[in-house]
Amino acid sequence: MAQQGTNAAQSPVAVPVETVIVTGSFEPVPLREANRSVVSFDTAEQPLLYNSFTDYLLSDPSIDLQQRGPDGTQADLSIRGATFEQSLVLLNGFRVNDAQTGHHDLDIPLPLEAISRIEVLRGAGSTLYGADAAGGTVNFVTARPKLTELRLRAGAGNDGFNQQRILASYSRGRVAEQLSASRDFSTGFEPDRDFRSSSVASETWIQSGLGTSDVLIAGSDRPFGAAGFYGNFPSWERTKAWFASLRQDLGKRAGAQFAYRRHSDEFVLFRDDPGIYENTHISQSWQGALRGNWHLPREITLSYGADTDNDLIDSNNLGHHARNRGAVYANADLQQWRRVFLSVGAREELFSGGDAQFAPTIAAGVWVREGLRVRGSVSRAFRLPTYTDLYYSDPANVGNPSLRPESAWAFEGGPEWNATGQLVAQLTVFQRREHDDIDYVRSSPTSPWQAENIGSVQFTGIETAATWRLPRAQQLSLAYTWLHADQQVAAGLTSKYVFNYPSNAGVFTWQGTLKDRLSFRTRVGVTQRIHQGAYALWDLAGSRPRGLVRPYLQITNLGNTRYADIPGVLLPGRTVIGGVELVISRDALRHP
């Protein structure tokens, strides 16, 4: 499964390799020394066993993907019961949350092949990343290619599915380049549930006296049938995204970065008659940051920086709006005797109009004995209302321009066991106390949903995970997350989003390679949403991991379970995808 769980607690990687993470801390740290609950998925290992970003994220029961279709078609991501607007999505540390609506947070403009790993920070992350990181943060990370190679992939499946993907990389000396493109197409498992997802990316790395220069340019185009997504209508939607970023080292202790993102969303209520009701939203954002660190005596590292962000929207429904924000932050990391790790940080974020939010964090980890560590943290987080929350209006949903930002205090702690590397286990107890939650409520089934600050919500949960590394490059993982929420809403009102969380979620995964010739992965996930029955999903995949020609087969929902993550939006039954990848490189020729 190519995953390394909370401090390696869910990792199916067979070879114990020191994993360094960049999410959940101000400076890269080994995963086993992280004071926060972090999960890392290695997407470069066994890529033919996975088809989309969601295949990796579904391996973590603390992540709830409320999908509307296969291939991540408008999937809403939430962590630890938070709403999708309370979960922040990053690309190389840049925000890709859409200011229009949280529904497009996983509309990543890059092909999966361009991503090196996915890191998940469970719990509040506003000290590190600012607004919207209340439930957690997902960071899609690219990396300089290690090989010069060409990969060509083609596959097909049921429901008219076909795919084509390409990855070309060059790495030599001070220069590296990676080009990637993908296209996934399906006629749909139901009428008006077709999709066509395509993306392309180019990333260049240049080494100089200052350090590394990293330039990334990417774009995507995703039209899809949206029948039932927003009510009982044969709708259609098309999103497009453009992304460009520059990251520049300024010596060994500082760096600067800049990014631009443009996202468009075209929505048609009746696909065959757009004139009845149509919305077009175009959002843009500019981001910039200066960051540095200073190594002090007695193993103290001081990190500091300043961020700026501007976003705007041009919409026939939401109107024309813009807002700016800037932030300064500092953090001190302390190590003592290689047994005690302490991190203390704070962020002050300022918004247009003079409002401000303060987000402190304190986190610590202590090695009690060889192989046994206890860690814990206290953090404050906040999120801003989206433009849809503020200004959207239709017969079924009404925004509210008077909404206040949400805020939350998050607490977590628990032990981790990793004595020999063969068995890794962890237990985390957490609680998040939210105030001024933004949700859509109504007083009767015939009333429109109205955006309001509903009061307070408290989530309490337990995460457990264990991983066994077995002989012959096998790894088995078990993980379970339990959640409970208490909500304070005015009497007579019904909530739309807050209470659709999974109260129980468990995942079993196994991955292994037989004699270096065949690789397999299987996943069984069981989910029970609040006030609903449980359902199980079984996925199975196999591939040839080496050689010039590498066939693969992926089966999702093997048991043909009938289910819906979002009420009224049925998801596909059994799906089979098979194909072949052609790999041209020195390594592939050496190992036929």
How far apart CA 26 and CA 307 sit, in angstroms, is 13
| 525 close to 533: Cβ distance less than 8 angstroms | no
Mean pLDDT for 390-403 is 89
Distances (CA, A) of 28 to 19, 20, 303: 10, 6, 11
The DSSP code sequence of 452-515 is EE--EEEEEEEEEEEEEEETTTEEEEEEEEEEEEEEE--TT-EESSTT--EEEEEEEEEEEEET
Give me the pLDDT at residue 591, please: 53
Tens of pLDDT along 33-72? Answer: 778 888 899 998 899 999 999 999 999 999 999 888 887 7
Q: How many CB atoms lie within 10 A of CB 115?
A: 23
Q: What is the CA radius of gyration of the chain?
A: 23
**Across 203-207, 421-425, 502-506, 533-537, least confident range:** 421-425
Tokens of 261: 């993102």
Give me the pLDDT at residue 489, please: 62
Distances (CA, A) of 86 to 125, 442, 446, 538: 10, 21, 28, 29
Give me the pLDDT at residue 163, please: 96
Give me the pLDDT at residue 530, please: 87
* Nearest Cα to Cα of residue 130 among 438, 380, 389, 455: 380
What distance lies between CA 423 and its chain's CA centroid?
27
* Nearest Cα to Cα of residue 217 among 183, 184, 156, 259: 259
Element containing residue 389 per DSSP (H, E):
helix 387-391
Tokens of 127: 């000290």
pLDDT band at 498 (very low <50, low <70, confident <90, very high): low
Tokens of 241: 């995204």
How far apart CA 259 and CA 280 sit, in angstroms, is 24
| 157 close to 575: Cβ distance less than 8 angstroms | yes
| 314 close to 282: Cβ distance less than 8 angstroms | yes
Please report where in the chains the tokens 């080494």 appear, as a residue.
207
What's the pTM? 0.93
3-state secondary structure of 151: strand
Mean pLDDT score across all residues of the chain: 90
Q: Return the half-sphere exposure (C-beta side, CA atoms, 13 A cut-off) of residue 335.
A: 12
Tens of pLDDT along 315-330? Answer: 998 999 999 999 999 9
Strands 518-529 and 494-495: unpaired
Q: Is the pLDDT of residue 16 over 90?
A: no
Fold of the CATH domain 3-590: Maltoporin; Chain A (2.40.170)
Tens of pLDDT along 187-231? Answer: 999 999 999 999 999 999 999 999 999 999 999 999 999 998 888
- State residue 423 phi and psi, 5-degree precision: -125, 120
